[in-house]
C-alpha cells in the first residue's frame, strides 16, 4: 500500500477544509487509490476551531514543514506571493511534490517554479488555483487534450458575479450598496480591490490561457477592467436589449496571436453563461472537436477548493510522475493581441441634450466609421436631457474608440460615453 505523507502550510478556510476532507474521506481515498493519505504536519499561525489537531504535529514555523524529511507533498495554502514563493522554492529544492491553490503565485512565477520542479523530478499541481471545485485544469489538460482549444470565456470570480447578480435582481441598488452587502456576507474582503477590479480573475485567466494554448504565462499583457463603473442603469438597459452584464475573463487564439482580457461583457440572456448567478463560477471552452463545453460549480469555499487540492494530492499518489508544466512539452511564444486590435460589438450609453437632430449627428459619425446600429433605445427627456443607448455591429475596437472620441466632441453630448463589449460566442 502506497502512503503519501502530507504537510499543510496554512490552516485558513481552504487549509482547514483540506485537512478535514482528507480525514473524512480517508476510506474512500484508499478505495480509489489502493493507498493512504495522511497529514503528518500542519504549519499555521493559530489552530483552526473546526480542525481536530490532537494527533497531528503542528508548528508556527512554515519552513519546518517544507524541510520535514517525513513529508512527501507540501500543500501551500497561505496565499500572497513573497513568503509562498520562498516556501514553494524550498519545497521543490527538497524534492517534495507541491500542491497549491495560489493563483497569483502561478500566474506570475509559474514558469520558474515549473522548471525547478522538473529539475527536481517532482510535481507542481495547481487545480485549486482556478474556479474552486470546478476541475477545469484537468478538463483542459486531460479531457480536451486531443483538441485545439479555440477560446475560453469564464465567470471566475464569485464576488463580482454576486454583486452584478444582486444589482440586477434589486433593480435600484448601486454598486457600493451591494459591495457592502457582499462584505457583510463574507464574499468580499475589507479591501475588495483584488476582486472588483478584476485582478483575481486576471491571475486565473492568465493560467487558463497558458494551459489552453501552450503559451507562456503573460499576466503583464492582460487587458483588465473591473466592475466598479457598472451602474444600475447599464444593467437595466442591457436587460431591455436582451442581455445580462457579466464580468468575464476571455482568451482567444487568433491568427494575430493570443487575445487575453478581463472586463464586463454583455451576454445574451439565453446563453448558458448568462444563467450563472450569485457566487457561482463557470468556464466555457470552445474547441475544434468537442465544440463548446461548459464547466459550472462553486468557485470558492472550504469544501469546493479542498476538493481540488485533495484531487491533486491523489494525482501525485497515482502517478508519481515528474510532470510539472502547463500541459505542453514546449511553450510557443505567440504575440499578444492588443485590446485595440480586437473585434467586438459594443454597448454605448450617452446622455445628450434633448434637441432635434442630435441622434442624426451621432448616426452620421458612426456611419463615417462604417459602424451600424443593431439595437437602439432612446428614452424620454427629463430636464432637457435624454439618454441614448445603442448596440453596434462587430467592429475593430480602435475604430469604435475613434468614433466615440468624435461623438464625445459634439456640444450636445453631456457626459462621458459608457462602452461595454458584447460577447459573440
Same fold, 2-132+303-319 and 136-298: no
pLDDT at position 366: 98
Q: Report the alpha-carbon distance of residue 294 to residue 283 in Å, rounded.
A: 6
Q: Which of 315, 405, 256, 330 is nearest to 75 (CA)?
A: 315
CA atoms within 13 A on the CB side of 270: 4
CATH fold of 2-132+303-319, please?
Rossmann fold (3.40.50)
pLDDT, one tens digit per residue, over 125-148 is: 999 999 999 999 999 999 999 999
pLDDT at position 322: 53
Backbone angles phi, psi at 149, to 5 degrees: -75, 130
Q: Are 152 and 209 in contact (CB under 8 A)?
A: yes
CA distances from 386 to 230, 315, 406, 420 (A): 19, 59, 19, 20
Q: Are 148 and 287 in contact (CB under 8 A)?
A: yes
CATH class of 341-422: alpha beta
pLDDT at position 379: 83
pLDDT at position 2: 87
Q: Which of 39, 42, 48, 79 is nearest to 305 (CA)?
A: 79
Other beta carbons within 10 angstroms of residue 346's beta carbon come to 22
Q: Where are the domains of the chain?
A: 2-132+303-319, 136-298, 341-422
pLDDT at position 327: 80
Tell me the CATH number for domain 136-298.
3.30.360.10
Q: Are 74 and 102 in contact (CB under 8 A)?
A: no
Those residues of the chain that have pLDDT short of 50 are: none
CA distances from 297 to 133, 202, 305 (A): 7, 19, 11
Catalytic one among 204, 246, 253, 419? 204
Check if 96 is active-site. Answer: no
pLDDT at position 189: 87
Amino acid at each position: 500500500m502506497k502512503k503519501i505523507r502530507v504537510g499543510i502550510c496554512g490552516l485558513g478556510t481552504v487549509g482547514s477544509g483540506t485537512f478535514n476532507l482528507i480525514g473524512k474521506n480517508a476510506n474512500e481515498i484508499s478505495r480509489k487509490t489502493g493507498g493512504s493519505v495522511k497529514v503528518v504536519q500542519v504549519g499555521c499561525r493559530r489552530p483552526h476551531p473546526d480542525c481536530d489537531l490532537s494527533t497531528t504535529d503542528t508548528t508556527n514555523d512554515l519552513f519546518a514543514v517544507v524541510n520535514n524529511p517525513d513529508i512527501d507533498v507540501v500543500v501551500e495554502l497561505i496565499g500572497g506571493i513573497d513568503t509562498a514563493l520562498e516556501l514553494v522554492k524550498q519545497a521543490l529544492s527538497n524534492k517534495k511534490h507541491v500542491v497549491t491553490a495560489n493563483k497569483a503565485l502561478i500566474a506570475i512565477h509559474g514558469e520558474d517554479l515549473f522548471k525547478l520542479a522538473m529539475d527536481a523530478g517532482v510535481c507542481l499541481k495547481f487545480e485549486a488555483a482556478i474556479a474552486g471545485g470546478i476541475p477545469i485544469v484537468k478538463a483542459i489538460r486531460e479531457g480536451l487534450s486531443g483538441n485545439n482549444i479555440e477560446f475560453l470565456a469564464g465567470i471566475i470570480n464569485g464576488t463580482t458575479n454576486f454583486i452584478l447578480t444582486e444589482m440586477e435582481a434589486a433593480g435600484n441598488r448601486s454598486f457600493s450598496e451591494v459591495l457592502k452587502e457582499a462584505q457583510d456576507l463574507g464574499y468580499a474582503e475589507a479591501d475588495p480591490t483584488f476582486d472588483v477590479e478584476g485582478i483575481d480573475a486576471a491571475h486565473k485567466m492568465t493560467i487558463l490561457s497558458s494551459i489552453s494554448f501552450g503559451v507562456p504565462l503573460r499576466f503583464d499583457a492582460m487587458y483588465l477592467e473591473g466592475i466598479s463603473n457598472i451602474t444600475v442603469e447599464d444593467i437595466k438597459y442591457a436587460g431591455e436589449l436582451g442581455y445580462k452584464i457579466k464580468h468575464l475573463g476571455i482568451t482567444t487564439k487568433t491568427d494575430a496571436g493570443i487575445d487575453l482580457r478581463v472586463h464586463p461583457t454583455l451576454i445574451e440572456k439565453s446563453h448558458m453563461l448568462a444563467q450563472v448567478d450569485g457566487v457561482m463560477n463557470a468556464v466555457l471552452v470552445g474547441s475544434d472537436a468537442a465544440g463548446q463545453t461548459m464547466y459550472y460549480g462553486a468557485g470558492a469555499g472550504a469544501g469546493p477548493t479542498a476538493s481540488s487540492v485533495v484531487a491533486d494530492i491523489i494525482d501525485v499518489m497515482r502517478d508519481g510522475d515528474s510532470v510539472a508544466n502547463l500541459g505542453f512539452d514546449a511553450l510557443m511564444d505567440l504575440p499578444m493581441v492588443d485590446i485595440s486590435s480586437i473585434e467586438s460589438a459594443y454597448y454605448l450609453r450617452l446622455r445628450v441634450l434633448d434637441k432635434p437632430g442630435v441622434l442624426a449627428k451621432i448616426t452620421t459619425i458612426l456611419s463615417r466609421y462604417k459602424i451600424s446600429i443593431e439595437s437602439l433605445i432612446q428614452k424620454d427627456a427629463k430636464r432637457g436631457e435624454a439618454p441614448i443607448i445603442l448596440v453596434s455591429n462587430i467592429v475593430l475596437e480602435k475604430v469604435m474608440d475613434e468614433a466615440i472620441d468624435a461623438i464625445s466632441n459634439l456640444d450636445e453630448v453631456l457626459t462621458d460615453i459608457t462602452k461595454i463589449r458584447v460577447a459573440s460566442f
